[in-house]
Amino acid sequence: MEDSDSQEVAQEVPANDVFIAPSIHEKEILAGVSYTHATPVPNSIKNDLSIECVVGVDEAGRGPVLGPMVYGLLYLPLSQHRALLAETHRFDDSKVLKPQVRSDLMQAICTPGTDLYQNCGWATRVMSARDIASGMLKPAGVYNLNAQAMDATIQLIKDVFARGVNVKEICIDTIGKADVYQKKLEKIFPTTMITVAEKADSLYPCVSAASVCAKVTRDAALEVNHKAYSTSNTCAGEPKSAADAWGSGYPSSATTISWLKGHMDPLFGWGTECRMSWGTAKDMLEAKGNGIKVDWPDVNDDEQARRMTDFYITASTMDVDEEPEDELATWYGKPVPESVF
């Protein structure tokens, strides 16, 4: 899960004054709940649903140990694809753009009256660190990160079709082998031209724009996650921003590792901002002297696996000749014979 490219990781650090997009649902983020946000179909498309559109999909935050993974989707009329996104606004892979530039682009997408707002629809799926780890740590039938990512992608695209948008082309940055992923999507969306490619975020402007939607949403989500610490009375001296506190959130970041070490609870580890399934987190918790060891009962042990209801008295456990007790008469206990005194 570690990213060896230090320059790329540095670009992953959010801007200190990142734009807070409508895709930020603070309540869900703090609770560690995954959710989807989608904008209405822009009027330029809604007024003529026969207009052919192109859809781009990309993610942000696949490798970090801290924060959510976010999938972003953006669509617009096919006729404006390169002219509006590449030539007019210079969209590129979000990891190449400076943090402030991608934040400004996202603000333009969200501001009524701009050409981006009038012609582009977009959506994000925020996959919380808690839910990612929960799926990967299942004792049976592990829900791995690729499967979670693929399900998020497919559902975002289905939602666009459900709104009546005439999707002609779909461009996606690959998960695993591009040809395998593309064939799977072609079976689900057989009437649509689909392109799955490595580095699609630098090849197709709609994927670049989706990448920006995903990255800025993740950046702002990190700030929300960090509020639990920056506003806490128990975290004296905690930096006010996530960028200053834990940097990019990647395991290869010294700032991230330092923060994890300084904020680890020996029993519970960290909050909903941490992916407990990541080797970085597990190694810290399991290191000698760091975490508290918990021995869980063996579910196959009959003594350990007894249920609370096993101790209840039911009609089947009573002697056949025994008269049922008056429940109200024994509400405060049973009378005792004088001999006990």
pLDDT in tens, the chain (341 residues): 444 445 445 556 666 678 999 999 999 999 999 999 999 999 999 999 999 999 999 999 999 999 999 999 999 999 999 999 999 999 987 778 888 899 999 999 999 999 999 999 999 999 999 999 999 988 877 899 999 999 999 999 999 999 999 999 999 999 889 999 999 999 999 999 999 999 999 999 999 999 999 999 999 999 999 988 887 656 667 887 887 888 889 999 999 999 999 889 888 889 999 999 999 998 898 886 677 877 777 666 665 555 655 555 555 555 555 555 555 555 555 665 665 55
Give the pLDDT score at 63: 93
Give the pLDDT score at 18: 86
Counting other chains too, the contacts that 242-248 makes at CB distance below 8 Å and 24 or more residues apart are 242/14, 242/67, 243/13, 243/14, 243/15, 243/16, 244/16, 246/66, 246/222, 247/13, 248/9, 248/10, 248/12, 248/13, 248/64
Cα angle 245, 249, 255; round to 5? 45
129-136 vs 145-162: helix crossing angle, rounded to 10? 120
Give the pLDDT score at 319: 53
Give the pLDDT score at 2: 41
Q: How would you write the chain as a 3-class SS string?
A: CCCCCHHHHHHCCCCCCCCCCCCCCHHHHHHCCCEEEECCCCHHHHCCCCCEEEEEEEEECCCCCECCEEEEEEEEEHHHHHHHHHHHCCCCCCCCCCHHHHHHHHHHHHCCCCHHHHHCEEEEEEECHHHHHHHHCCCCCCCCHHHHHHHHHHHHHHHHHHCCCEEEEEEEECCCCHHHHHHHHHHHCCCCEEEEECCHHHHCHHHHHHHHHHHHHHHHHHHHHHHHHHCCCCCCCCCCCHHHHHCCCCCCCHHHHHHHHHCCECCCECCCCECCCCHHHHHHHHCCCCCCCCCCCCCCCCCCCCCHHHHCCCHHHCCCCCCCCCCCCCCCCCCCCHHHC
Give one word for 237, left, alpha or beta, with left for phi > 0 and alpha for psi -120 to 50. left
Q: Is the entire prediction scored with pTM above 0.85?
A: no
Q: How many angstroms separate the CA atoms of 78 and 80, rounded?
A: 5
Tell me phi and psi for residue 248, to 5 degrees.
Answer: -80, -20
Residue 292 token pair: 């508290």
